[in-house]
Amino acid sequence: MAGFDNLQQVAQVLKSNGTDGELVMGFREIAPEDINVKEPVFIVFDGLPVPFFIESFTKRGNSKALVRLTDINSMEDVEEIAGKAVYIEEDSLPEISLEEDGYAALIGWLLLTPADPTTYEMTEDEMVLTEVGEITDFIDIPNNPCIEVETENGAVMIPLHEDLILSVDPENLEIIMQVPAGLI
């Protein structure tokens, strides 16, 4: 089995779906369709990663999927793993590219904004940044694409317009945006 150092969190078990072991998984770093269903996913029990194979996988929206895992056969089994992180081996991760994957690749990234809205003409190194939250979904509304961000006050939708994007950092999975007043 792969060492724990080679694993990266890609999702979380959110809840049960029905009573026969199907579960809802929320994805962070990658889109649900990027999961290789032939490779195991790992859930940590007692500090050790335990492999589970995917028996069925149905995408739901941009960041969720209905999943059936081996040996998870009841609502009670799902409740035991609800809230737990789901990992895959880093070798199984797809490369993320905004040009190829579009803005849905931002799911799992951290949204930052300048602490002082008047600093938008400063360089990135001069700005004092505030963490808004993690991008949890991309909503492709025609002529008004939005991202959903989980803030400390709950989920908010923020328009994703190129004029609002100050910088994108794929290496650190961070995006700096000028967020319109009153949205967060």
Kindly list the strands in the beta sheet with 23-27, ordered across the sheet, starting from the edge strand earlier in the chain. Answer: 48-52, 41-45, 85-89, 7-16, 23-27, 64-69, 54-60
In the CATH scheme, what is the code of domain 100-177?
2.30.30.240
Residues whose CB is less than 8 angstroms from the CB of residue 136 and which lie 6 or more positions away in sequence, other chains included: 26, 28, 63, 107, 148, 149, 150, 155
pTM beyond 0.85: no
In the CATH scheme, what is the code of domain 4-93?
2.40.30.60
Q: What is the residue extent of each domain of the chain?
A: 4-93, 100-177
Q: What is the pLDDT of residues 120-139, one digit of tens each?
A: 555 555 678 889 999 998 88
Task: For the chain, 184 residues long, give each residue's pLDDT as a single digit of tens.
Answer: 445 667 888 889 999 998 899 999 998 767 777 788 888 999 988 888 999 999 999 988 878 899 999 999 999 999 999 999 998 887 655 555 555 567 777 888 899 988 776 655 555 556 788 899 999 988 888 888 899 999 988 999 999 888 888 888 877 888 888 888 888 7
Cα gap 153→184, rounded to integer Å: 8
